[in-house]
Amino acid sequence: MSGFELPALRSLGDLAGAEPIIKVDTREQDPLPFTRLKTRSGTLITGDYSIIGLENLFAVERKSISDLVGCCVGQNRERFERELHRLRGFRFKKLLVVGREDDIHLGRYRSSISPKAVLATLSAFEIRYDVPVVFASTASLAAQRVEEWGFYFSREIVMSANALLRAATNPEEVQHG
């Protein structure tokens, strides 16, 4: 047991006591070190991490500082913008940058692009594609964030399913507005 437990109704069968499982894209070359939730490898349409069963709702795109800087120019930028565009349709989406924002401010990367241009590009991506950018200073902290997001997002889905189940099994308790 990971310490996470979803609030499923005991009568829900498959969801009772279930824990979310992180799906790691098969193209992810150096997966984050998850410790609290189980993982499975599989192909994702977009993003690097999702939750099994919620792949069309939950996506996290992970970048290192150097990958991110590389995605700010040329053909890499066009490819990355297509990726961000696909994320727009997800209910939960994040661009998770492993590294410190200060590393960008201080130009601690190998590229001639200025820190100001990288940060402006990040802001434009956030606004244009409605994808929040989150920094985590280490891979361990990034993994912890993905686990927390995955757990709490899954919990919200289960709570909605529980409410739907209660309404279907106890229609007299449903108030019509």
What's the CATH code of the domain at 45?
3.40.50.10130
Confidence of residue 172 (pLDDT cuts 50, 70, 90): confident
pLDDT at 84 over 90: yes
- 13 part of a folded domain: no
Q: What predicted TM-score, i.e. pTM, was given to this entire model?
A: 0.87
pLDDT at position 174:
58
pLDDT at 177 over 70: no
5 part of a folded domain: no
Give a yes or no: residue 2 inside a domain. no
Pick the more confident residue, 123 or 167: 123
Whether residue 15 lies inside any domain: the answer is no
What pLDDT, on the 0 to 100 scale, is given for residue 169? 79
The whole-number pLDDT of residue 29 equals: 92
pLDDT in tens, 97-137: 999 999 999 999 999 999 999 999 999 999 999 999 999 99
Token pair of 12, please?
């829900």
- The verdict on residue 6 lying in a domain is no
Sheet holding 133-136, edge to edge: 39-42, 22-25, 49-51, 58-64, 92-98, 133-136
- Mean per-residue pLDDT, 52-59: 97
Question: Closest Cα to residue 60, out of 161, 136, 131?
Answer: 131
Q: Does residue 1 lie in a domain region?
A: no
- The residue whose two tokens read 């053909």 is 75
Look at residue 105 and tell me if it is in a domain. Answer: yes
Residue 105 CB-half CA count within 13 A: 3
Q: What's the pLDDT tens digit per position in 2-54? A: 666 666 544 555 666 678 999 999 999 999 999 999 999 999 999 999 999 99
As for how many domains the chain has, the answer is 1
Domain residues for 31?
20-173
| Token couple for 118 | 């990288």
